[in-house]
Amino acid sequence: MGYGNYSHAAHAALLADRAAQPGQEVFTQRGVHTLMNPRGLKVRESRDNADHPNSLPVVFALDVTGSMGDIPQLLARQELPTFMKLLTDCGVADPQLMFMAIGDAVSDSAPLQVGQFESTAELMDQWLTSSYLEGGGGGSGEESYELAFYVLAQHTDSDAWAKRKKRGYLFMTGDELPYNAVSRHQIEALIGDKLDEDIPIEEVIAAAAETYHLFFLIPDAQRRRRCEGRWRELLGDHVICMDAPEDACAVAAGIVALTEHAVPGLQGLTQVMAAHGTPKERIATVAHALEAYAELLDPNAPKRAWPATAATATTTLGSWWKKLVG
């Protein structure tokens, strides 16, 4: 997937047309969309083509439980063009976006929804707004984020990795803890894969991190307090604590630009944002969220002592992975 060219003007016009619509008219699904149902899922592909010879897969895995529905709404109403325009302004070529929606497999009817990789504004928007915002969640303080890592590790394929050994990007939004393991029973029920045993979350993160840079975006300081510690154990500096949910797209674009060295550090990113017309207040909050990560990429900056991470440690994959990939 991923054919066609992106038009920022077309995307902005699409969102402007729905500015006054209530949320239920933007996200009309009242159950999981047939095309986003992961049952029988084989592979989601990000491929090079004539329009995009250097495809770069980018996945947004959005928590759509009750406390997190504001981020999908913000993307669909105003912020997604910000992501694409900022990437373009920074010189990042050929991003292909895929949306996933995450709930709670213990209590929700649609805990995992999976779109396709796309390059055009219309198709990106189609998959995003086809997500079912169930608004559930279990109340245990956990959501099924681990399912997204499993899908990336086992059910995606990209030319970026196959041809260039370039990893894609996962931006997961959330405000709860993950479950400690991928349940083999849930995977069989939701996708149809048969596993011999549950997969510890550290192992599935390590597998996904082979081909993707993994980031967990926490919307604001209030929600940060209940989940940051555990996510730092798992992802270290790739946990990004934002000042507001509205910053998610600009923060994600900034991470890609910084990691790809498309801009000369955080100062270069803020200059591009200013030229892009981003308000000074937004530039300040985005820079605040990205300060620690930008320091991580700067060889001259002092290093912060976050815990070792499953995503960056050299890890021997468990027997489950060897069996799955043969």
**pLDDT of 12-26, one tens digit each?**
888 888 877 877 888
* Span 98-150, pLDDT tens digits: 999 999 999 999 999 999 999 999 999 999 999 999 999 877 889 999 999 99
What's the pLDDT score for residue 172? 98
Give the span between the Cα atoms of 303 and 92, in whole angstroms: 27
Do β-strands 177-178 and 239-241 pair in parallel, antiparallel, or remain unpaired? unpaired
Residue 197 phi/psi, 5-degree rounding, is -155, 165
Q: Counting Cβ atoms within 10 Å, is residue 265 exposed (0-12), middle (13-18) or buried (19+)? A: middle
pTM above 0.85, yes or no: yes
The CATH architecture one would assign to domain 8-325 is 3-Layer(aba) Sandwich (3.40)
- Amino acid letter, 139: G
Does 302 have pLDDT greater than 80? no
Give the residue extent of every domain in the chain.
Answer: 8-325
Cβ(204)–Cβ(183) below 8 Å: no
* Average pLDDT of span 238-256: 96
**Maximum C-alpha span of the chain:** 53
* Average pLDDT of span 39-66: 95
Buried/exposed code over 34-55 (b: 16+ C-beta within 10 A; e: otherwise): eebbbeebeebbbbbeeebeeb
Residue 95 phi/psi, 5-degree rounding, is -70, 140
User: Helix, strand, or coil here: 214?
Assistant: strand
Does 307 have pLDDT greater than 50? no
224: left (phi over 0), alpha (psi -120 to 50) or beta: alpha
What's the pLDDT score for residue 314? 35
Give the span between the Cα atoms of 103 and 150, in whole angstroms: 14
Give the span between the Cα atoms of 319 and 203, in whole angstroms: 10
Does 319 have pLDDT greater than 70? no
What's the pLDDT score for residue 274? 96
Terminal CA-to-CA distance of the chain, rounded, Å?
26
* Span 266-279, pLDDT tens digits: 999 999 999 988 99
Give the span between the Cα atoms of 143 and 137, in whole angstroms: 7
In this predicted structure, which of 129-143, 186-200, 208-222 has the lowest mean pLDDT?
129-143
User: Helix, strand, or coil here: 58?
Assistant: strand
What's the pLDDT score for residue 19? 73
Query: Whose CA is closest to 249, among 15, 19, 2, 10?
Result: 15
What's the pLDDT score for residue 5? 80
Give the span between the Cα atoms of 44 and 60, in whole angstroms: 14
Mean of all residue pLDDT scores within the chain? 90
